[in-house]
């Protein structure tokens, strides 16, 4: 029945190419992807009655597989379409996002990947709650997780609806419902096992597709980067300026602040942190982080080539420009249009289907992280005080995945037509200002207290949301005021500092000895994690 609905939800509608002609090849590829992943979900559903399998795929994912799955979880449509679109628009400046995304991985690799595996089981709140009071720290961790994944989900769902509307000719609301319902099926029935394999398949398809696209671009310039850049400079309206920074971000504070959000936010994204619990041991966790860094780094190099290739092939081609000379469907369509320009209808269909699958894989990981925060952190340890049985916990988590999926669908429809790009930046800022400081200080600072982590983290969360609302993105562009109260679009340089300072000051001034701060147990586990013996 599911496959029947999926088939007829796609094919009664025309599937458009960059030229406005029907392209059913994209729908066929995407349908094959859906069929394969639904079959995986069916077999995975037979094993998800145990929480180890539902949350962490039984800890049986290898380092290589997990590295590929992390890359699949992390390389979103914003990365593929957004960064290549930014390079198409501004040249060198577009790389600040890819560099920021990538630099966050050494932090995960060298500081927390092994300890995540050894100190936690299913969520990053498991780690902090070893030392700190269960209820307070899990409430804060759940709030940070749910705020982050909700913001991220809105951006992904709106992007999915808009992209599919353009590519497949589907109604926006139908497109959002397709993504949302498939996401619910993957997570509620297949758990982490299904989600992992959806991400692995998607990562392979995305890396393969981007590699072929970059290869075709390079082939046109005799595999010479200098020839590509020379041609891009000659056709771009900004000429040599595209080889230098300054078009997107002109002041150093904004540049540093954005970099901090991307780097530290990566190390605080709950759906990424969960992936380190799926491997069997600390060594595999470190290996998976290394593989993920390699895959993601390689992919971002490809987006650079794709972006500059789009400048050459699309900037002066009226087939892909509107009446005002701007790219059809916005700059985010640069990679899609390039695939048609250089590879024809069939390759366009493949890249379009991969873009759709990319969104589907990312939202599945986000939904599972939110479901685990509700089912495990809130229900088991806050509401039930740790006394819920496994059956109850899984039931709540699976119902939570349905709730989060439906919420994402309705929010995606509600925000139709809105510029929600700032939500991705806000999600990273929240992760950097709330999740990362607590996680990092739990692992590295023995004087951290429950009150310090709880109230300091809340201060970081409130400061982040407040400064984003008062900044140019919302105060001026959304609310319509003439001048922003807070002058910078990216507040992370301030909010991360506020969070660390607040946690430090409150912890130092907290004279009360907390019986929950079991340092002896924590230090023993930390030493084992450091030595990689677990």
The full DSSP string for 364-430 is HHHHHHHHHIIIIIIIIIIISTT---HHHHHHHHHHHHHHHHHHHHHHHHHTTTS--HHHHHHHHHH
Q: What is the model's pLDDT at position 336?
A: 85
pTM: 0.82
178/199 Cα distance (integer angstroms): 18
Quickly count helices (H) and strands (E) in the chain: 23, 0
DSSP classification of residue 91: G
**Top-level CATH class of 2-531?**
mainly alpha
Q: How far apart are CA 251 and CA 246, in angstroms?
A: 8
What pLDDT was estimated at residue 412?
Answer: 85
**Helix axis angle, 334-372 to 390-414, nearest 10°:** 140
What is the model's pLDDT at position 512?
Answer: 58
List Cβ neighbours of 234 (8 Å cut-off, separation of 6 or more).
Answer: none
- pLDDT the model gives residue 516: 45
Residue 513: CA count within 13 A, CB half-sphere: 3
Contact 196, 57 (CB under 8 A): yes
pLDDT at 153: 86
* CB-CB neighbours of 406 under 10 Å: 14
> What is the structure's pLDDT at 495?
93
Alpha-helix residue ranges (DSSP H) falling in 19-170: 24-45, 51-56, 63-74, 77, 84-90, 95-107, 113-119, 125-131, 134-168
| CA 455 vs CA 449, 461, 494: distances in Å | 10, 10, 17
* DSSP codes, 309-326: HHHHHHTT-GGGB-TTSP
Contact 443, 127 (CB under 8 A): yes
Half-sphere exposure of 381 toward its Cβ, with a 13 Å CA cutoff? Answer: 22
In whole angstroms, what separates CA 139 from the centre of its chain?
22
Q: How many whole angstroms from its chain centre is CA 131? A: 28
> In angstroms, what CA-CA distances link 3 with 169, 180, 262, 288, 401?
20, 15, 38, 33, 21
d(CA 144, CA 135): 14
Element (H, E) at 481: none
Cβ proximity of 14 and 167 under 8 Å:
no
CB distance 370 to 146 below 8 Å: yes
Q: What is the mean pLDDT of each run of 10 residues along the chain (534 residues)?
A: 38 44 66 84 82 82 89 77 81 74 69 69 77 82 87 81 71 84 85 87 90 91 86 82 71 80 82 84 84 88 88 85 78 84 84 79 84 86 81 86 90 75 77 88 83 91 90 80 85 92 90 52 51 41
Give CA–CA dist 61/5, Å, rounded.
32
Which pLDDT belongs to residue 533?
Answer: 40
């Amino acid at each position: 029945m599911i496959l029947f609905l999926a088939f007829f939800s796609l094919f009664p509608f025309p599937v458009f190419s960059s030229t406005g002609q029907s392209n059913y090849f994209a729908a066929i590829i995407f349908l094959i992807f859906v069929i394969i992943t639904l079959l995986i979900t069916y077999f995975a559903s037979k094993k998800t009655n145990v929480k180890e399998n539902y949350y962490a795929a039984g800890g049986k994912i290898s380092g290589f597989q997990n590295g590929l799955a992390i890359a699949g979880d992390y390389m979103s449509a914003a990365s593929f379409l957004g960064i290549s679109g930014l390079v198409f628009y501004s040249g060198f400046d577009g790389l600040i996002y890819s560099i920021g995304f990538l630099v966050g991985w050494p932090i995960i690799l060298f500081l927390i990947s092994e300890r995540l595996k050894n100190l936690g089981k299913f969520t990053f709140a498991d780690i902090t709650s070893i030392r700190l009071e269960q209820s307070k720290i899990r409430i804060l961790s759940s709030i940070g997780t749910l705020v982050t994944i909700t913001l991220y989900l809105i951006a992904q769902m709106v992007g999915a609806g808009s992209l599919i509307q353009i590519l497949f000719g589907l109604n926006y609301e139908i497109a959002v419902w397709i993504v949302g319902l498939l996401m619910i099926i993957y997570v509620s029935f297949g758990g982490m096992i299904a989600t992992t394999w959806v991400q692995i398949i998607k990562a392979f398809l995305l890396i393969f597709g981007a590699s072929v696209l970059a290869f075709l671009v390079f082939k046109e310039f005799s595999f010479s980067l200098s020839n590509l850049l020379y041609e891009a400079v000659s056709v771009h309206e900004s000429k040599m300026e595209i080889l230098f920074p300054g078009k997107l971000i002109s002041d150093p504070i904004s540049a540093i602040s954005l970099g901090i959000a991307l780097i530290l936010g990566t190390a605080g994204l709950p759906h990424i942190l969960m992936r380190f619990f799926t491997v069997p041991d600390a060594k595999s966790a470190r290996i998976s982080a290394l593989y993920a860094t390699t895959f993601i780094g390689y992919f971002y190099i490809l987006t650079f080539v794709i972006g500059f290739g789009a400048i050459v092939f699309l900037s002066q081609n009226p087939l892909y420009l509107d009446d005002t000379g701007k790219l059809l469907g916005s700059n985010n369509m640069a990679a899609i249009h390039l695939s048609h320009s250089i590879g024809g209808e069939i390759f366009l269909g493949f890249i379009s289907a991969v873009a759709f699958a990319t969104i589907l894989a990312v939202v599945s990981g986000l939904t599972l992280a939110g479901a685990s925060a509700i089912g495990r952190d809130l229900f088991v340890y806050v509401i039930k005080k740790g006394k819920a049985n496994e059956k109850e916990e899984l039931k709540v988590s699976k119902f939570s995945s349905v709730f989060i999926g439906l919420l994402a669908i309705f929010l995606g429809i509600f925000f139709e037509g809105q510029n929600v790009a700032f939500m991705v930046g806000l999600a990273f800022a929240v992760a950097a200002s709330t999740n990362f400081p607590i996680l990092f200080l739990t692992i590295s600072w023995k004087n951290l207290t429950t009150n310090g982590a709880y109230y300091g983290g809340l201060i970081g969360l409130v400061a982040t949301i407040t400064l984003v609302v008062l900044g140019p993105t919302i105060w001026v562009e959304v609310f319509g005021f003439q001048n922003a109260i807070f002058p910078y679009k990216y507040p992370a340089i301030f909010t991360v500092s506020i969070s660390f300072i607040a946690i430090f000051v409150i912890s130092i001034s907290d004279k009360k000895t907390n019986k929950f701060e079991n340092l002896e147990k924590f230090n023993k586990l930390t030493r084992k994690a450091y030595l990689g013996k677990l």
